[in-house]
Amino acid sequence: MAEKTILRLYHKYIIQIIQPSCVLPLIDFLTEHEEQIKAAETQKGLTEAANLMMGFIYNTPETPGWFRMLLDGFRHAGYRTLAEAIDLNNFATIEKAELHKQEVRRLSAAIQKEVKPLDILPHMPKGLLQTQRETVEQVTAQKGNTYGIQKLLDFLLRTDDPHWFKNFLDALRKGGYVHLQKVLDDTGVDDSEEALEGMEISFIQEAGQSNLCANAETLTDQYQPTSDSEDTPFSAKLRKYQRELAEPALMGKNTIICAPTGSGKTVVAMEICRHHLEQGTEERKRKVVFLANTIPLCQQQMEMFQKYFENTEFEVTGQFGDSSSPMKVLVGVESYDIMVMTPKVLEINLEEGNIPGLETFTLIFFDECHHTMKNHSYGCIMKMYMDIKLGPDPPPLPQIVGLTASVGVGKSSKNEQEAREHIYQLCANLDTDTISTVRQQEEELRAHVFVPSKDTRVVKRRVSNPFMDIVLELMVHVESMAKNTYNIDTLSNIPRSTRGSQSYEQWIVEVQRNCKVLRLDNEDEEQRVCRKLVTCAEHLRKYNDCLIISEDARVNDAFKYLLEYFNNMDRAFFDETDEKLVNYFEDKKAALEEFANDTVTDNPKLSELQLVFHEQYRFKPETRTLLFVRTRALAEAIKEWVLETPALAHLRPRVLIGRRKTVNVEGMTLSKQKDALDAFQAGGSKLLIATSVADEGIDIATCNLVLLYDYVGNVIKMVQTRGRGRAKDSLCILITSSSENATKEKINILQEKMMYDAIKNIQKINHDQFLAKVNKIQTIMKKRQDIERQMASARVQETDVFVLLCGKCRMITCNSRDLRVIKNSHRVVINKDFISLCNVTPHPKPKKYDDIEMKCKISCSKCNQDWGIMGSFLGFPELPLLKTEGFIFVNNSTQKKRVVRKWQDFPGIIKEFNILEIGEAAQQTV
């Protein structure tokens, strides 16, 4: 019988068992349909999604091995009996199991009412996967018995384990529910094989059927159902410790809520929000904005708020990323009760007047509020708030609620008193009345929130590394070439550090920036020297990156990194310096490749990492690991190492990095981030390798192992990363070859205690004294802010024209009269002659932002220096959008050269983009 015919024959059984998101990461022939299937799973339920997935399988052209891959995917996802039934063309076992499932569904109300899941779970050694058992335990601990038994039944009713019913009956009997066991055992279901022959089974898909591999930290994870509240179907009865956290904010006070990761701060925030909105009147309607630092986090929080308020009169929208525009913001403010935004979107729209003022809102949440410092957008928003509060006749201001797992102690705090000053400053920045922590209900908090055990493993570095020796030789050669051209040590105030370090990277970046503004008597010589130094600096940065990768990963990964850089260079733009540097690398390439393939130089740190994996997965094969690394390049390198190591390939690693593009690595789109998280949550991947993007907030499936691969920051980062392990008996292990990092982590642990002591001491003082201290800091801040504004207004913009030179070859490109600014964000060139100087190539990831379609990349036609993007706007098809890093800015009157990191620092005047002016200019050129 044909393979697809077999699948169609047993279609109705398959779609009642599988969850597509568990299987999709394990097969590769449905990649183009993956997002559509996952969307159906979220919106229409598991059975509908499975039906859609099978439909695509039936219509997809057959490729060699597809059927075996599908069955292997079923097996690895946990559906072994199903895979065997398809393989043998025999579904008798699954049909038998379905008869019992119907009886359990019929009695589910009684079971949910009486059974405590933890009474029977220890007596169910089979029938549930380890991850499912942990999820049941977690849900029960966080939400209570009702939700716990619902989760357990959901897992059982989609299982393909042939012995599940017998195991379930035994567990009921041993757990003390003999009466239920007898009722189920006396249902009259005939277990005999003969009774099953010729019987047609009908299936019923329950609405909202639980997700088999769903993230344990869903919207309802951290509160209990309540029968005495009729506010909404989703109304939450907060736990006692959550009610304690919420109490000051429910009373209308400006509050910082500081509680551990996994304690349900978002749920607390939603309850505060609901209570706040319900106090509104027709005369004074209330409006809430929830601020989150990243687009993925905004997306996540918006979906949670929408789910929470879906059956209420209150409406939720989001304004962040590419979906945000001034018009949408205006509509959102006018029409919705709750807006989820990135702080930058709120800041810009307040500055541009699209939102009349902060007093438009009555409540503002600051997620991860410890960022409310200095020039962060949180800080800028609160400066606007302070201007109103400390100004004449202030109108009613919004209530401020901050959420964080750690307020920190500040960079230079050496004792508890200095930590207190840091916390006072944060309170002043957020106009805080109260710091809310769990004090009365600590026992309940400990019962529901698990803090992972912490361990540090210090490993030795390689005894020798001939590969690194050759790279160091290459760096010395490049430095020598640069020094023979100009004394590069005079181009940086940062002392040159050890090669292969982050501080060396800072030094070379400073050298590269300052060589662009170098002035020599001979203009031609100046141009030659500048280009040569910029080129040398580029090579030194790549070699330095290579050393860092070699230190943390395999030598072969470092070699691949160098190869990719040199292979992607376009020789059409080479000058003499490029030729010499590339030829010198080519001379050393054979030796580098030889040492790169030498296993004698294996990295001890990777060996320790493999040992940790072996220890954890040997006894807990369902372990989920979140591995933090410092750089994107290292994340990819470790992923390749895992995949190429036979003993680790079963981990099926995925990578999670940020969206922003860097010099070395493309960013990760929101959809790709979601795919990586989905694969980890669904069990298709047991290892998620992440950079700092996973530090804070992003909802990652409960994992029980957090590994920090030489990943050490301040006390806030330590608390956040450690808190990613939320399952019971979780571990957090730092693997490092640096005794300095090991010591720093010990200091972080001491500072965490110092932070909590400081908070407790602040909470003990008289409330009037606390407010007086906060108000004094605010008054000082306001005076300093006013002085800075006066100084800024005194700095008159230079009216002189600036010439823009290519940042590498110094070719004249245009001047500041040719520039226009769009939406206070994008600088475009309106001089059509500029395009003839550009090398235009298709953008690998075209996108639209601020109504600008970004279609192509532009670079210097002479040296290939990156200049920015070619976009279209309001019917103008070719508008070059410039990036500051690509240019040197020369004052046409004084001939003073400048480099600027961002357009806001540009000293000259740039006119606003005027569609009429541009249209007339275009007509004149026709």
Q: For the segment 499-509, what is each residue's pLDDT rounded down to a tens digit?
A: 888 888 889 88
Q: Are 645 and 680 in contact (CB under 8 A)?
A: no
Query: Percentage helix, strand, coil, to 5, in the chain?
Result: 55, 15, 35
Q: Tell me if 215 is assigned to some domain.
A: no
249 lies in the same domain as 396? yes
Q: Tell me if 208 is assigned to some domain.
A: no
Length of the chain: 926
Give the domain-ending residue among 429, 448, 467: 448
58 lies in the same domain as 137? yes
546 lies in the same domain as 438? no
Q: Is the pLDDT of residue 580 over 90?
A: yes
Number of domains in the chain: 5
Mean pLDDT value across the chain: 83
Rounded mean pLDDT, 102-112: 76
Q: Tell me if 225 is assigned to some domain.
A: no
d(CA 56, CA 833): 51
CATH of the domain at 317: 3.40.50.300
Q: Tell me if 767 is assigned to some domain.
A: no
Q: Which region among 500-504, 849-853, 893-897 has the lowest average model confidence (pLDDT)?
A: 849-853
Give me the domain span that covers residue 37: 3-196
User: What's the DSSP call for residue 200?
Assistant: P
Give the domain-ending residue among 759, 787, 814: 759
Q: Tell me if 574 is assigned to some domain.
A: yes
pLDDT at 328: 81
What distance separates the 2 farthest-apart alpha carbons in the chain? 101
CA distances from 248 to 238, 245, 257, 578, 870 (A): 14, 7, 9, 64, 51
d(CA 709, CA 732): 11
- Two tokens at 417? 């008193």
Residue 876: pLDDT band with limits 50, 70, 90 = confident
129 lies in the same domain as 189? yes
**Residues 6+ away with beta carbon under 8 Å from 135:** 151, 155, 214, 216, 702
CATH of the domain at 869: 2.170.150.30
β-bridge mates for residue 287, sequence order? none
Rounded mean pLDDT, 463-473: 89
Count the neighbouring beta carbons within 10 Å of the beta carbon of residue 504.
21
652 lies in the same domain as 571? no
pLDDT > 90 fraction of the chain, expressed in percent and rounded: 33
d(CA 71, CA 54): 13
Residue type present at position 179: H
Q: Tell me if 281 is assigned to some domain.
A: yes
- Two tokens at 538? 């580029």
Q: For the segment 629-664, what is each residue's pLDDT rounded down to a tens digit?
A: 988 888 988 999 999 999 998 999 999 887 766 555
CATH of the domain at 550: 1.20.1320.30
pLDDT at 1: 57
Count the neighbouring beta carbons within 10 Å of the beta carbon of residue 618.
9
CA atoms within 13 A on the CB side of 197: 3
pTM for this prediction: 0.66
β-bridge mates for residue 625, sequence order? 687, 705
436 lies in the same domain as 553? no
Q: Tell me if 217 is assigned to some domain.
A: no
Residue 925: pLDDT band with limits 50, 70, 90 = very low
Q: For the segment 155-171, what is each residue's pLDDT rounded down to a tens digit?
A: 788 888 888 888 888 88
pLDDT at 920: 54
Residue among 122, 369, 260 nearest 730 (CA):
260
d(CA 333, CA 336): 6
134 lies in the same domain as 19? yes
- Two tokens at 618? 């040997």
72 lies in the same domain as 177? yes
18 lies in the same domain as 144? yes
111 lies in the same domain as 22? yes
Q: For the segment 196-232, what is each residue's pLDDT rounded down to a tens digit?
A: 333 332 222 232 333 333 333 344 444 443 333 333 3
Residue 188 Ramachandran class (φ > 0 left, ψ -120 to 50 alpha, else beta) = left
- In our burial notation (b when 16+ CB lie closer than 10 A, e otherwise), range 118-128 reads bbbbeebeebb
Beta strands (DSSP E) in 238-280 are 255-258
436 lies in the same domain as 300? yes
Q: Are 128 and 155 in contact (CB under 8 A)?
A: yes
Q: Tell me if 516 is assigned to some domain.
A: yes
- Two tokens at 839? 């090398």
Give the domain-ending residue among 196, 231, 259: 196
44 lies in the same domain as 179? yes
